[in-house]
Amino acid sequence: MNTIRRTGIARRRKQTSLSEKQRRGNERRSLEKNPDKIIERLRKIPIFEGLTTEQLKKMLSICSKKKFEISKNIYTIGEESDNMFILIKGKIGITFNTGVDLQSIAPAGIVGEMGIFTGEKRSANVVAETECMVLNFSRTELYRLFSSDANLHIKILMNIIKDLSKKMRGSNEQIDQLLYRIRVLDIM
């Protein structure tokens, strides 16, 4: 029998060379260590409004935690939309190609939801304004979960519609203010 003993360094190297799938598994396990505490936090996030404890556990089972350092590019215009994030900690900025800041997203906010459901590419640049922690939901796993629980699917979609409507109202107010300024300048 030919047994190879690994040194501590060799074991650590092997442990740090985890695949993306393994890292996501580790991130999921860390979310599942104290599910009751996390479930209570999820209840406060608008996208999860009206979900039962069982449905929240299902959502928790398909997400992973992801961390972004300050100034890290999260999404870029034109990229494929294969996931969405719910901000847990930090602040995220959204800009267009002009570099003009559109808005900042605070904890409990959602980014990437439009592309997940429309299949369209990213429509904005998203950058971590501070160190951020997000819950990452992949399109594939969300759709798989939605196909097994129609009630959960409807609740999540209704909550996303509410969130998008709120964002749209804010954008409409900005447009209205800009049009007013343009009219005032034209009069002068």
pLDDT for 3: 44
Does 6 fall in a domain? Answer: no
The reported pTM is: 0.73
| Each residue's pLDDT tens digit, 69-89 | 999 999 999 999 999 999 999
pLDDT category at 1 given cuts 50, 70, 90 is very low
Question: Which residue did the predictor score with more confidence, 186 or 118?
Answer: 118
Distance between CA 126 and CA 90 in Å, rounded? 13
* Domains in the chain, number: 1
Does 47 fall in a domain? Answer: yes
3-state DSSP call for residue 172? helix
Q: Are 63 and 140 in contact (CB under 8 A)?
A: no
Does 181 fall in a domain? Answer: yes
What residues have CB less than 8 Å from 133, skipping those under 6 apart?
65, 66, 67, 68, 87, 88, 89, 90
Q: Calculate what percentage of the chain has a pLDDT beyond 90.
A: 48
Question: Which residue did the predictor score with more confidence, 148 or 171?
Answer: 148
Q: Look up the domain containing 94 and give its range.
A: 11-187
List the 132-138 sheet strands across, edge first: 63-68, 132-138, 83-89, 110-111
Listing DSSP states for 12-60 in one string gives: HHHHH---HHHHHHHHHHHHHSSHHHHHHHHHTSGGGTT--HHHHHHHH
Does 4 fall in a domain? Answer: no
Does 144 fall in a domain? Answer: yes
Buried b (16+ CB within 10 A) or exposed e, 32-67: eeeeeebbeebeebebbeebeeebbbebbebbbbbe
Does 124 fall in a domain? Answer: yes
Does 51 fall in a domain? Answer: yes
Which amino acid, one-letter code, is at 68? Answer: F
Does 152 fall in a domain? Answer: yes
Whether the pLDDT of residue 26 is over 60: the answer is no
Q: What is the average pLDDT across 117-133?
A: 93
pLDDT for 106: 92
| Each residue's pLDDT tens digit, 29-49 | 556 666 788 888 888 889 999
pLDDT for 29: 52
pLDDT for 67: 96
What residues have CB less than 8 Å from 106, skipping those under 6 apart?
87, 91
pLDDT for 97: 81
- Which CATH number does the domain housing residue 138 bear? 2.60.120.10
Task: Give the distance from CA 90 to its chain's centroid.
Answer: 12
